[in-house]
């Protein structure tokens, strides 16, 4: 297969200030791409700013819910490759305000896809970041890509719809749209403290007991952010292939852990004791979720490169360095 050239390629990343967005922008810039970061809200604590990634990108202020913003981003900057990461990603926030979740995740997606369709001679590929939540609850695990999308809770439904919209634009209009479904993504730069990895690390740095919203037994896939970036880039590079175009792929290390397993692993890395407070009051959460990544291994081929404790060790070091002043330890 011919080597894909990122040098001087015009790339749009939505959701650039999020955990994956910052790492993706950094890697694309390293490969020589011209990166346009579409940003709705500034967060000075975001890794996109604190780690010096922003000055190496062109920042466009815009909101995916406005079609004209999507068109301007693609047309004015002559975008060739789109990584669509921008979304409401917090399950609790989606539960409290489902309309905002639907507007951001569903309207935002079809606005971007329709903009890309109208500029189809310009835009060559679109990679859509999805989630294992798109599958909804299932008695059959692990999820495989041929299983139906049955989200029921607001966030889950928004991801099911996102995937169906992506499928529509790929198969009706022949666009090079691909979908990436990941489990729980962890790594440096995640400032959503309600998530188990950053929340536990912050609590332990403060000498506090981690607080678990679940009962601690929920099983999930945990995938390191660097592996996610490599997965997204693999999709973009191969989206023109018949066996990749219009397809969804699961990305997972195919190792599953309970929430309590993750807390214990973080404590081991930090060399402290963890005695979590178990609230068991989480709502609209799927009990167990695991992903089968055989398709990604066989077709792309892609495999996860990072073991859990190696990824956690690098993650902890970032938080230890960046949160040492205490200012960013305060919840948003």
Task: Give the span between the Cα atoms of 277 and 172, in whole angstroms.
Answer: 50
Is 26:225 a contact under the CB 8 Å cutoff? no
Residue 185, Cβ neighbours under 10 Å: how many? 23
Per-residue burial over 242-253, b = 16 or more CB atoms within 10 Å of its CB, e = otherwise = eebbbbbbbbbb
Task: Give the span between the Cα atoms of 186 and 206, in whole angstroms.
Answer: 20
110 is catalytic: no
Q: Of 110, 143, 155, 169, which one is the catalytic site residue?
A: 155
Sequence-ordered alpha helix ranges (H) in 31-80 = 47-50, 67-76
Q: What share of the chain is helix, strand, coil (3-state, %, to 5)?
A: 40, 15, 40
Task: Give the span between the Cα atoms of 179 and 277, in whole angstroms.
Answer: 36
Q: What is the 3-state secondary structure (H, E, C) of 190-256?
A: CCCCCCHHHHHHHHHHCCCCCEECCCCCCEEEEEEHHHHHHHHHHHHHHCCCCCCCCCEEEECCCCE
Tokens for 5, please give them: 């050239």
Tokens for 78, please give them: 């002559």
Nearest to 289 by CA among 182, 167, 160, 161: 182
Nearest to 257 by CA among 312, 207, 300: 312
Q: Which residues are registered as beta bridge partners of 128?
A: 84, 179
Q: Is 32 left (phi over 0), alpha (psi -120 to 50) or beta?
A: left
Residues annotated as catalytic are: 155
């Amino acid at each position: 297969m011919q080597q894909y050239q990122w040098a001087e390629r015009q790339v749009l990343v939505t959701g650039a200030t999020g955990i994956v967005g910052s790492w993706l922008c950094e890697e694309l810039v390293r490969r020589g791409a011209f990166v346009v970061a579409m940003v709705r809200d500034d967060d000075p604590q975001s890794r996109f700013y604190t780690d010096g990634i922003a000055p190496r990108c062109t920042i466009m202020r815009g909101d995916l819910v406005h079609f004209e913003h999507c068109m301007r981003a693609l047309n004015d900057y002559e975008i060739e490759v789109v990584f669509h990461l921008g979304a409401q990603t917090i399950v609790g926030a989606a539960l409290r305000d489902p309309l905002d979740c639907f507007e951001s995740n569903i309207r935002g997606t079809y606005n971007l896809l329709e903009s890309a369709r109208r500029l189809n001679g310009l835009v060559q590929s679109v990679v859509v970041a999805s989630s294992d939540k798109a599958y909804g609850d299932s008695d059959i695990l692990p999820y495989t890509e041929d299983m139906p999308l049955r989200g029921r809770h607001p966030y889950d439904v928004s991801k099911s719809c996102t995937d169906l919209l992506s499928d529509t634009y790929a198969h009706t209009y022949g666009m090079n749209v691909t979908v990436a479904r990941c489990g729980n993504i962890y790594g440096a730069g995640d400032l959503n403290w309600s998530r188990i990895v950053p929340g536990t690390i912050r609590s332990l740095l403060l000498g506090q007991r981690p607080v678990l919203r679940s009962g601690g037994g929920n099983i999930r896939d945990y995938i390191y952010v660097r592996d996610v970036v490599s997965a997204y880039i693999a999709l973009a590079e191969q989206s023109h292939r018949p066996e990749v175009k219009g397809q969804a792929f699961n990305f997972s290390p195919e190792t599953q852990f309970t929430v309590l397993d993750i807390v214990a692993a973080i404590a081991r890395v930090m060399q402290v004791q963890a005695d979590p407070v178990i609230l068991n009051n989480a709502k609209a959460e799927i009990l167990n979720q695991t992903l089968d990544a055989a398709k990604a291994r066989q077709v792309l081929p892609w495999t996860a490169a990072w073991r859990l404790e190696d990824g956690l060790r690098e993650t902890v070091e970032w938080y230890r360095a960046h949160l040492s002043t205490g200012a960013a330890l305060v919840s948003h």
